[in-house]
Structure 1
């Protein structure tokens, strides 16, 4: 969730503030946006994915990073924090701090009520300015549902959706597989629905 903004700052000012900040902030067009904390389900899904894909990438020239790694979209001077990012081959960074990745191949976002529209809309559009970006994966933390977008050579995208426990997704750009049973292992999806039903009863 984007909580607040600080206006009219330069990228250099943003980086100076961000590296000393106790919370994560995105940056775009002179504005600095604070990010909200993640739920247990969000964190569990992220941990599951990093574990499963990390094991498959051990013998490959690829690295996987969780939400502490910033990504810079050079074409529009935007700094953002994907939930999970995979890079292969030569890792390109913005500076000697090696904390701002320039060439992600796979980006994974875990959707929430407050971020879903952004992740599907502007954020996805902005990611597409990155030449190396090949696959985009959106994961619901409330329902058993994963969506995948694969970039074609003409810069159009192929969409697919997975909702069954036995479904397995192939991430072609890194030659890895991700099953829904692994992604949602020990994730209590009923918590969200119980909370939503309780709110409905109060209204």
Structure 2
């Protein structure tokens, strides 16, 4: 017996449903995608980055959030949960719930085998539509490697790659920096 096609959700239907869920789900083009769990290494890298940025951003107009702050790419309609996201000055949210950020300046994704292709490709293509976004970092969890995409102008991004524990990543968007050794503290990575 053929199954009936599932009706596509509206963004408002998604938000209403998502706000009642215990687990997180991304949304694009009327479809919902469940978020999977993360490894120990993934969690440590995220916590290390968030802790470093949090302490650096105290007393500034910037805020940093770890994996539970939803981001909407208004231009494409995608709702997603970056591993780390930061916004500065006049933070804009979708509605009074203040749980869907519209103007991030920094997004960091920690790569896993299941997400790497998406984070590098389709997801970054969506993120590039955020005019506020200045820095996008892809952080490996099994090896010492951080890729930093820095916006040069509307359609041009400069890639810098960091592989040494002594490397320092300058994040102009939040007036901060990340020492690669701090990113990988307690994480068994290959040099």
Q: What range describes the TM-score normalised by the shorter chain of this pair? A: over 0.9
Q: Secondary structure of the equivalent of 1:12?
A: helix
> What per-residue deviation string (whole Å, max 9, x for no partner) do you get for residues 67-91 of structure 1?
1000001111110000000100011
| Greater helix share, structure number | 1
Q: Which residue of 2 aligns with 1:24?
A: 24
Q: Normalising by structure 1, what TM-score?
A: 0.88
* Distance across 2 between alignment mates of 1:161 and 1:7: 43
Shift of 1:10: 1.2
Q: Would you say how many aligned residue pairs link Structure 1 and Structure 2? A: 185
When residues 101 and 154 of structure 1 are mapped into structure 2, their CA distance, relative to the original with a 3 A threshold, is closer
Q: Which residue of 1 aligns with 2:52?
A: 52
- Say if 1:46 and 1:84, in contact at 8 Å, map to a contact too: yes
When residues 61 and 30 of structure 1 are mapped into structure 2, their CA distance, relative to the original with a 3 A threshold, is same
> What per-residue deviation string (whole Å, max 9, x for no partner) do you get for residues 126-153 of structure 1?
0111110111001000101000001012
Question: What is the RMSD computed on CA atoms of the aligned residues?
Answer: 1.2
Unpaired runs of 5+ residues, structure 2, are: 1-5
Q: Normalising by structure 2, what TM-score?
A: 0.94
Matches within 5 A, 1:1-203: 8-189=8-189
Runs of 4+ in 1 over 2 A off after TM superposition: none
- Say if 2:131 and 2:154, in contact at 8 Å, map to a contact too: no
- Say if 1:7 and 1:31, in contact at 8 Å, map to a contact too: no
When residues 154 and 30 of structure 1 are mapped into structure 2, their CA distance, relative to the original with a 3 A threshold, is closer
Unpaired runs of 5+ residues, structure 1, are: 1-5, 191-203
